[in-house]
Structure 1
């Protein structure tokens, strides 16, 4: 019974195999340079003794021929090793690529383990609902609120006209002249007396006006005020 077990052969990795082949190629290159040197040396001997000693020259050519054959075989070996190294490199690249793709597939399986199309649709529906709600809230906030205060447009217009009349009276008082109150005209009459309005086909009824102040300067001032307000002079 054999008590000694043979040592298990270690598995060669692609990287180790490529390194070993590259080292072999380096050794063959050095060997080729050495043989090429011997070929050059034998050729030199043959040329030197070609005319003086034909026997020595012939032996030198024979040795050169042997070295040539050896160099040719070594070149073929180099080509084979280089092709093998390239094949191993390509196979190793394919192997690493497949490993990376397998890891990617495992990662995708892990991601999609708790994810399906129903959950995606539900999530997108929730997002749409929340976006619609956000838009509604934004619209509601942006609406102006008076908080129970009711506004009468006619009343505001009347108040504005009083303020305008007060301002005109102040301007007249500052100028040293008697203030003149302008009569309120209906909108239709103001539009009819506007410089851009077309002449009416029918005569308009005469409106009631306050007594005109007897001073000529006040009439001129009244005409200027009417003109600034877009009304034709009476």
Structure 2
């Protein structure tokens, strides 16, 4: 087999267990990747040889967490005394030691990377299938219990039929063959005992199915409530009642300012202020002028003018002759008005 140049990377050993990185390296980088302890510039670490790129930060985080679990299993008492240290980045930033080169190895390196990608994809598919099975475990358990429940219900019907058959056989032979009748009753008692056990098992399975269904519904309800809570939190964000009150106060201030501006604009008069009384007097004068003009054109005197021209009534005795003259004038005026209307 031809030699293929490898890329070598160094990472510090802090928070990384040798056994863990040895087990997980080929899962992340493919079957050709290797790792061994290596000291670089006086600092201990691990030397990783791989035909492709090195571990990502997420992969190193996973290795560190698994290393922590390994140390906790190996030394539980010591892990309780030592405080937990947070993972540091870029503490485990890979450092390139050497880079493979050569035209002949490029194609082999590409093929090797393809195999690594396929290997990682296959492992990822296996993990996804495991997570899917774990997610569907309540559903599978309910289906299994229901299948078993159907089988027990069929057994219950079969036992009841057997009991009826043995009871009929015992009644048939009760007078003619007592031995056969006793044997039939004995078999009937055995079927009754099996039926009681089957009924008890059916009740247990039904309770278990109801319990699993209730637990699954509670889990789904809780998950939906959590998603709803996260959605409400995202919607509200940093919104608080104090900020709402502050915003409403600002809106009220702006509305009041707008009303004041509109009032100032509408109440402002351009030019001199006109007196309403002068306008009313002028309007009355114009109306009187138009009325007088119409009276002059028609030759009649308005009733209101005639009333104003009549002499005031005094305390002295009223003479009858002037009253007759006034009546004649009225009659003459009336005839004149009738003649104008006839025209």
Relative to the length of structure 2, the TM-score reads 0.46
Is residue 280 of structure 2 the alignment partner of residue 157 of structure 1? Answer: yes
Deviation digits for residues 128-182 of structure 1, max 9, x if unmatched? 2222123223434554x55314312342232122123124324534653146996
What is the CA deviation profile of residues 38-73 of structure 1, one whole-angstrom value per residue up to 9, with x for unaligned ones? 111111111111111111111111111111110010
Q: In the alignment, which of 132, 135, 146 is matched to residue 22 of structure 1?
A: 146
| Superposition RMSD in Å | 3.4
Q: CA deviation at 1:102?
A: 2.2
Alignment counterpart, residue 227 of structure 2, candidates 97, 100, 103: 103
Say which of 168, 176, 180 aligns to 2:299. 176
Report if the CA contact (8 A) 1:35-1:67 is conserved.
yes
Moved more, 48-57 or 129-138: 129-138
Aligned to 2:197: 73
Comparing 132-141 and 62-71, the one that deviates more: 132-141
Q: Spell out, residue by residue over 1:200-224, the C-alpha distance to the aligned partner (whole angstroms, 9 max, x if none).
A: xxxxxxxxxxxxxx89449x99xxx
Q: TM-score, normalised by structure 1?
A: 0.64
Tell me whether 100-109 or 172-181 shows the greater mean CA deviation. Answer: 172-181
Counterpart residue number, 2:212: 88
2:256 aligned with 1:132, yes or no? yes
Residue 271 of structure 2 is matched in structure 1 by 148
Distance 1:153 1:125, change over 3 A: closer
CA distance in 1, matches of 2:284, 2:303: 14
Per-residue CA shift, 1:16-44, capped at 9, x if unaligned? 21222122212211111111111111111
Q: How do 1:108-127 and structure 2 match up within 5 A?
A: 108-116=232-240, 119-127=243-251
- From 153, 173, 182, the counterpart of 1:58: 182
| Structure 1 unaligned blocks of 5 or more | 1-7, 183-213, 222-234
CA distance in 1, matches of 2:272, 2:249: 40
Going by fraction, where is strand more abundant, 1 or 2?
Answer: 2
Structure 2 counterpart SS, 1:35: helix
